[in-house]
């Protein structure tokens, strides 16, 4: 009996030695043999039942084992503290747990290819109890490209971790069933619970969620990024991730963020509390993401043109226009803020000291806006009054009614002998909850200087009182000007002969004219000018005056005849002349002086006193 026990003990020891190597050759064929080899280890882990399917196991601070079905179980305890891997180059992406599995299977110095092959055997990671990481959580689960589920990840205590670089890094090759192309990453994991992670001591999150192709959301509510200096490629290749809320994360010490969201499907990103150092540029932070169409930034954000925010609607989606627009006081589907032609223009807002003073959201300008209908509420009336200069009522008051928000238009009246002089209140507006009054003030049609605000007849003369254009068409556009006439002093105002009238399709009156400014480069040109009185008026007086003063630098002449023939005398500039009456001669006016002589009625040469 003792001999039999000795034989069994010897056999057991031999099996424990050769098991890892045999597992590497054909782990499935070793299940029955391995069952005996791991009986004692299973008892150490407190299993209620004996495991008969373990293909590899070991100790890494905690005890772990891998089943034939691909379940990697992690026992209770603290993970071994190992050196932090290099930033780049050889071994920079070596998975901590995949390396342990490889070594237990006889690989002394496993290559990347070895680790990927080993990692592909793991399909589920299960924490059987509380697990504490060391300061080094870098590449902890790297190369697990076939893991479809992490169980009890909320029991992972990461409070001691200072690096999470490549923590879930995946670069395994797979064939995409949609386009039959070879791609890389984890294409089976659809959710990842990191809601209990303590990241208060973490400085490096580079490649943390690298190429997790099917994960659609992350709960980062427990994250603290105050100490993070490097977040490069943090969400690289997350092609199912469309929305990411990082609204509470400051990244107060961030230096590197290149391609942080590259290759992801992120459309909506919140960075409300983003407050990196003042010298942070954000080089290529948004590079490689053409889907981002809603970005929220806070007043402490610091970015630059080099952050490479893509111009709006590069994907040519017909539901959007080609501008970024601040939401302002509007909504995402009806933004009301400023427009920006490029992504760089948005980034430029956060490159200097004069930054937006509050949290602002920028979106691709929607082609079709969703405007919520305002509740219908009866507005207070708008009373329209018509008064003369002394406050006398010239017509009965008009009362306009409508609902709050509806537009109203108060119009002046055509009153015989009067013209509208000014308006008090808003002639065009919207009904509100308060009563409104609009008052039109009128003056007699004869104004100071003897001018009439009426149309100048054909063959009459008009001059420009302000800057105007001569247009080729009665419907003025940016393309119709033929000549430009700048505002001049009265004596030098450009003058035109009226040859006809026209009305634009908007209903505006036009003069059809010929340029009669002698020795001018524009002399002889024809076209259309505005008929607005504020811009042009008759070049000759049309009402009688008591006195006029000579305005022309060379003075004027007094003539015996009304057609200004037979000169009698000359009047110098500044002389005042008494007027007897005004007469018309071929649509052009003359003044007859009290001494019987005739002088011009041209406003460029004389001015009424």
The tokens for 250 are 């400051």
Q: Which residues of the chain have pLDDT under 70?
A: 1-51, 374, 416-417, 445-454
Residue 402 covered by a domain: yes
Q: Which CATH number characterizes residue 424's domain?
A: 3.10.20.320
What's the pLDDT score for residue 416?
A: 65
534 and 554 together in one domain: no
**b/e sequence 412-438, b meaning 16+ C-beta within 10 Å:** beeeeebbbeeeeeebeeebeeeebeb
Last residue of a domain, one of 400, 419, 444: 444
> Angle 61-65-67 (CA atoms, 0-180°, nearest 5)?
165
Residue 600 covered by a domain: yes
517 and 583 together in one domain: no
What's the pLDDT score for residue 179?
A: 87
438 and 486 together in one domain: no
Neighbours of 488 (CB within 10 A): 15
Q: What is the mean pLDDT of the chain?
A: 88
Last residue of a domain, one of 514, 538, 562: 538
Residue 511 covered by a domain: yes
Residue 275 covered by a domain: no
What's the pLDDT score for residue 92?
A: 87
How many domains in the chain? 3
Domain with 584, as residue range(s), is: 547-608
471 and 439 together in one domain: no
Residue 427 covered by a domain: yes
| Count of alpha carbons within 13 angstroms of residue 227, beta-carbon side | 12
The answer to whether 562 touches 592, Cβ cutoff 8 Å, is yes
What's the pLDDT score for residue 552?
A: 86
Residue 433 covered by a domain: yes
Last residue of a domain, one of 538, 555, 577: 538
466 and 490 together in one domain: yes
Q: How large is the angle between the packed helices 112-119 and 96-104, nearest 10 degrees?
A: 90
Q: How far apart are CA 591 and CA 6, in angstroms?
A: 144
Q: What is the pTM of this model?
A: 0.57
579 and 527 together in one domain: no
Residue 233 covered by a domain: no
């Amino acid at each position: 009996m003792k001999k039999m026990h000795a034989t069994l003990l010897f056999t057991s020891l031999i099996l424990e030695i050769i098991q890892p190597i045999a597992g590497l050759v054909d782990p499935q064929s070793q299940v029955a043999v391995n069952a005996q080899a791991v009986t004692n280890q299973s008892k150490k882990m407190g299993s209620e039942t004996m495991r008969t399917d373990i293909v590899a196991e070991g100790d890494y601070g905690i005890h772990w084992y891998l089943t034939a079905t691909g379940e990697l179980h992690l026992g209770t305890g603290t993970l071994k503290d190992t050196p932090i891997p290099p930033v780049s180059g050889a071994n920079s992406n070596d998975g901590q747990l995949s390396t342990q599995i490889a070594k237990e299977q006889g690989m002394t110095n496993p290559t990347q290819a070895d680790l990927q092959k080993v990692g592909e055997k793991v399909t589920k990671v299960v924490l059987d109890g509380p697990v504490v990481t060391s300061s080094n959580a870098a590449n902890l689960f790297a190369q697990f490209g076939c893991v479809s589920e992490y169980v009890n990840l909320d029991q992972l205590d990461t409070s001691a971790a200072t690096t999470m670089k490549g923590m879930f890094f995946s670069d395994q090759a797979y064939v995409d069933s949609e386009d039959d192309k070879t791609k890389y990453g984890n294409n089976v994991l659809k959710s990842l619970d990191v809601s209990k992670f303590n990241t208060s001591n973490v400085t490096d999150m580079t490649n943390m969620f690298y190429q997790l192709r099917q994960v659609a959301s992350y709960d980062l509510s427990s994250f603290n990024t105050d100490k993070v200096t490097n977040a490069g490629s943090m969400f690289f290749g997350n092609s199912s991730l469309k929305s990411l809320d990082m609204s509470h994360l400051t990244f107060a010490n961030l230096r590197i963020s290149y391609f942080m969201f590259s290759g992801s499907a992120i459309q909506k990103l919140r960075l409300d509390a983003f407050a990196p150092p003042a010298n942070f540029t954000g080089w290529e932070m948004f590079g490689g993401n053409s889907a981002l169409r809603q970005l929220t930034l806070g007043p402490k954000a610091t970015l630059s043109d080099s952050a490479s925010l893509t111009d709006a609607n590069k994907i040519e989606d017909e539901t959007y226009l080609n501008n970024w627009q601040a939401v302002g006081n509007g909504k995402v589907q009806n933004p009301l803020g400023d427009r920006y032609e490029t992504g760089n223009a948005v980034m430029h807002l956060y490159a200097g000291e004069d930054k937006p003073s509050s949290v602002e959201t920028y979106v691709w300008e929607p082609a079709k806006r969703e405007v919520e209908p305002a509740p219908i509420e009866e507005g207070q009336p708008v009373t329209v009054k018509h008064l003369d200069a002394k406050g006398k009522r010239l017509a009965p008051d008009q009362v306009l009614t409508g609902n709050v928000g509806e537009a109203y238009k108060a119009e002046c009246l055509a009153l015989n002998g009067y013209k509208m002089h000014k308006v008090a209140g808003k002639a065009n507006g919207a009904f509100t909850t308060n009563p409104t009054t609009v008052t039109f003030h009128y003056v007699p049609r004869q104004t100071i200087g003897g001018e009439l605000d009426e149309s100048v007849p054909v063959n009459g003369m008009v001059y420009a009182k302000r800057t105007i254009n001569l247009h080729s068409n009665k419907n003025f556009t940016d393309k119709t000007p033929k000549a430009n006439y700048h505002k001049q002093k009265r004596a030098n105002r450009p003058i035109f002969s009226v040859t006809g009238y026209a009305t634009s399709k908007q209903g505006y009156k036009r003069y059809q004219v010929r340029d009669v400014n002698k020795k001018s480069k524009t002399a002889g040109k024809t076209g259309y000018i505005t008929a607005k009185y504020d811009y042009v008026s008759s070049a000759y007086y049309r009402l009688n005056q008591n006195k006029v003063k000579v305005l022309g630098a060379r003075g004027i002449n007094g003539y015996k005849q009304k057609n200004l023939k037979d000169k009698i005398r000359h009047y110098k500039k500044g002389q005042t002349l008494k007027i007897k009456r005004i007469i018309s001669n071929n649509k052009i006016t003359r003044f007859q002086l009290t001494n019987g002589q005739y002088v011009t009625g041209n406003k460029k040469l004389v001015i009424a006193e």
